[in-house]
């Protein structure tokens, strides 16, 4: 089988007109170039050129071979140069897997700024609360909360784990009263993740780190934290939500703490991707965008359950 590197050297030597000029342009010693061309001739079983130190002349076989392969070699070189150019500036398609409510907490204006800064980048969002298969679904990067189960993936932290706290709207508290104990939640409308029974068990940490749990139920359930947050804001009940999700509402007085002595250890949020080798610049730029924008939310003074 022919060594394509030898074919490429042959074409470049011919284009340069001499081994000396080809050596200067390629940064390879002339005797190395000459030896590689000789190897090619040996493989082909024919002489391709008559050569001297300063000049060369193609044989008839060399002329035919040049005509047949020069276009292919130059095409490969052009493709390589184009790829190098691409890797100097973020460009191309970035496929992102994110929760269905991603744009409820990630401002579309941030994405507008990103696309304006990188005019050669396209972004395709796959929004679903299911966990995408990054390889099978051709996903470049995914936003994931909770425990990272797939050790083959690489990850960058977006948000720290933090804590989950009990919250409700002032209107709900005015209407239903303040629960005095954890077990009082049994008599309240609680906002839980969707389950056919409408019930959930909240396992929390109480005063002095003591574990506790209570079975709660309510008339509203949903499958995303954002849905439960919006229900809490609307006065539909008490929710157990990540502090990073509710801290702005708490500071604005739109939500108030409930039983602040109880909390649950939360899970962080990460950007995950299949490989960190030769990560496209467009993907790297998008990861940095999400980390910087969402990290700014976390940089607010921490809101604790207490």
Give pLDDT tens digits for 232-267.
999 999 999 988 788 889 999 999 999 999 998 877
Cα separation, 123 vs 115, whole angstroms: 8
CATH 1.10.10.10 fits 4-86, yes or no: yes
In 3D space, the residue among 19, 63, 23 whose CA is nearest the CA of residue 38 turns out to be 19
In which residue ranges of the chain is CATH 3.40.190.290 found? 163-265
Cα separation, 25 vs 39, whole angstroms: 21
Q: Which fold has domain 163-265?
A: D-Maltodextrin-Binding Protein; domain 2 (3.40.190)
Q: What is the CATH number of domain 92-161+268-298?
A: 3.40.190.10
- For 98, the token pair is 């994110």
In which residue ranges of the chain is CATH 1.10.10.10 found? 4-86
pLDDT of 80 reads 53
Whether 130 shows a pLDDT value over 80: the answer reads: no
b/e per residue 26-38 (b: at least 16 CB within 10 A): beeebeebbebbe
In which residue ranges of the chain is CATH 3.40.190.10 found? 92-161+268-298
Helix segments in the chain, DSSP class H: 4-16, 19-26, 30-44, 60-86, 102-105, 108-117, 170-176, 225-233, 243-252, 281-298
Give pLDDT tens digits for 179-224.
999 999 999 999 998 777 778 999 999 888 889 999 999 999 988 8
The neighbour count for residue 256, using CB atoms within 10 Å, is: 16
């Amino acid at each position: 089988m022919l060594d394509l590197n030898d074919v490429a050297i042959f074409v470049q030597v011919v284009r340069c007109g001499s081994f000396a000029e080809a050596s200067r342009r390629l940064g390879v010693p002339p005797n190395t170039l000459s030896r590689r061309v000789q190897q090619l001739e040996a493989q082909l079983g024919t002489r391709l050129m008559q050569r001297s130190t300063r000049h060369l002349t193609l044989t008839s076989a060399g002329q035919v071979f040049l005509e047949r392969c020069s276009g292919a070699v130059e095409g490969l070189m052009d493709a390589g140069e184009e790829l190098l150019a691409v890797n100097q500036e973020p460009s191309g398609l970035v496929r992102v897997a994110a929760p269905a409510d991603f744009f409820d907490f990630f401002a579309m204006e941030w994405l507008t700024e990103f696309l304006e800064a990188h005019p050669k980048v396209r972004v395709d969002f796959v929004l679903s609360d299911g966990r995408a298969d990054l390889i099978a679904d051709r996903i470049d990067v995914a936003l994931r909360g909770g425990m990272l189960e797939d050790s083959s993936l690489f990850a960058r932290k977006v948000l720290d784990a933090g804590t989950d706290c009990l919250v409700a709207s002032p209107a709900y508290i005015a209407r239903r009263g303040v629960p005095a104990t954890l077990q009082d939640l049994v008599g309240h409308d609680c906002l839980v993740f969707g389950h056919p029974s409408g019930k959930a068990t909240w396992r929390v940490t109480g005063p002095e780190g003591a574990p506790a749990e209570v079975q709660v139920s309510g008339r509203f359930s949903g499958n995303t934290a954002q849905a439960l947050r919006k229900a809490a804001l609307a006065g539909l009940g008490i929710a157990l939500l990540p502090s990073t999700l509710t801290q702005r509402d708490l500071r604005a007085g739109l939500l108030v703490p409930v039983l602040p002595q109880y909390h649950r250890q939360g899970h962080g949020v990460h950007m995950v991707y299949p490989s960190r080798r030769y990560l496209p610049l467009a993907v790297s730029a998008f990861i940095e965008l999400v980390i910087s924008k969402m990290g700014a939310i976390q940089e607010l003074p921490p809101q604790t359950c207490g």
